[in-house]
Amino acid sequence: MSARASFIEVDLWLHRGRLEARHERRLPGPLPILYELWYLTTAGRPAFVLEDLLFACQGKAGVLLDLKNGLGEVPQILRGVLASFGQEVDVLASSQNWPLLRQVGLACPQIDLFYSIDTLEQFDLFQSVMRHDSLPAGVSCRYSLLNERVIADFHDAGLAVVAWTVDEGDRACELARWGVDAITTNQVEAIRAALANTP
């Protein structure tokens, strides 16, 4: 937020009825252990949850929620949290779990949905259905799967395109020239500076 990002992209995991904002997975069981492929860490106490995130972002930034789990449960929880905390925050949702995203769209029709695409198989599947699915407002796509023609095809279908994760200025400028609508980055100020010099 100090870098004045338009949106904060945050991974959300359902745990014990609450949506926790964290990147890592949690080990099953009572111990507060989080993990990724290359490390273990302990979960913060108390957990940083969606309510905290929405409160922190009010008047400062929108949020792009990357929903990681919770098919069947998350949509109703999300609807309740947004009713209490989300009125002053622009909220978008993405997920690679497309059935979950569709449930969220039905429970929270005010949220724009972005189907997250990480692999060529997901990309091909989405290409085959995108003109017949009225729910998504766009795609949140691994940048290496994008090119100028693909972005134009998405735009022709009425879809916005978010490229992730782009931390290199030259690549961000190339994507901007191709017409992406937004870029997810860990280097907000550096990417903003690079884009400011892009014709």
Q: Which domains are present in the chain?
A: 1-93 (no CATH), 111-199 (3.20.20.190)
pTM for the full predicted model? 0.91
State the average pLDDT for the chain: 91
Q: How confident is the model at residue 35 (pLDDT cuts 50, 70, 90)?
A: low
**Could you please report the per-residue DSSP string of 82-100?**
HHHH-TTS-EEEEES-HHH
Q: How far apart are CA 50 and CA 82, in angstroms?
A: 9
| CB within 8 Å of 171: residues ≥ 6 apart | 143
Rounded CA separation 60/2 (Å) = 9
Q: Tell me, what's the pLDDT at 62?
A: 96
Match 């106490």 to its residue by tokens. 45
Looking at residues 6-24, what average pLDDT do you find? 92
Q: What is the torsion angle, in degrees rounded to the nearest 10, for the CA atoms of residue 69, residue 134, residue 91 and residue 71?
A: -20
Higher-pLDDT residue of 3 and 113 is 113
What residues contact 158, with CB distance under 8 A and at least 6 apart? none
Here the tokens at position 154 are: 């998405």
* 96: Cα separation from own chain's centroid: 9
The tens digit of pLDDT for each residue in 36-78 reads 777 778 877 788 999 999 999 999 999 999 999 999 999 999 9
The yes-or-no verdict on residue 199 having pLDDT over 70 is: no
pLDDT of residue 11: 95
